[in-house]
Amino acid sequence: DQQVKQNSPSLSVQEGRISILNCDYTNSMFDYFLWYKKYPAEGPTFLISISSIKDKNEDGRFTVFLNKSAKHLSLHIVPSQPGDSAVYFCAASARDGNQFYFGTGTSLTVIP
């Protein structure tokens, strides 16, 4: 059973607009969350993370929001650029964990 879910397989956004990618989790023990970005024929690369003691973390154009009560996190990309077109994976782990649980990914296309 998927403990981390990304319910939107794909998303298209115009260049310059905001991209919002969503992720839901079921395990209340999860307390550390990451987003990875993956280009075709490459491995996932780390993008941004957040721990459960925060509800927001920002890094340049990328912001991750965490809503613990809803067991939901989202990644905002503003402004979106064509180079952001990739598959984005959400991942979560528990406090003592080395083990991460990944979602199925959302394919983002930024249209010039």
Partner 1 sequence: DAGVIQSPRHEVTEMGQEVTLRCKPISGHNSLFWYRQTMMRGLELLIYFNNNVPIDDSGMPEDRFSAKMPNASFSTLKIQPSEPRDSAVYFCASSLYQPQHFGDGTRLSIL
- Residues forming contacts to partner 1 in the complex (CB under 8 A) are 2, 6, 32, 34, 36, 41-46, 49, 89, 91, 98-105
Nearest Cα residue to 6 out of 100, 80, 75: 75
User: In whole angstroms, how close is the CB of 27 to partner 1 at the nearest point?
Assistant: 14
Cβ closest to partner 1, residue 65 vs residue 101: 101
Maximum separation of any 2 CA atoms in the chain, in Å: 43
Is the CB of residue 103 less than 8 Å from the CB of residue 33?
no
User: In whole angstroms, how close is the CB of 16 to partner 1 at the nearest point?
Assistant: 29
User: In whole angstroms, how close is the CB of 14 to partner 1 at the nearest point?
Assistant: 27
The count of other CB atoms within 10 Å of the CB of residue 103 is 23
DSSP, res 98: S
Cβ closest to partner 1, residue 79 vs residue 101: 101
Cβ closest to partner 1, residue 13 vs residue 87: 87
- Separation CA 109–CA 15 (nearest Å): 9
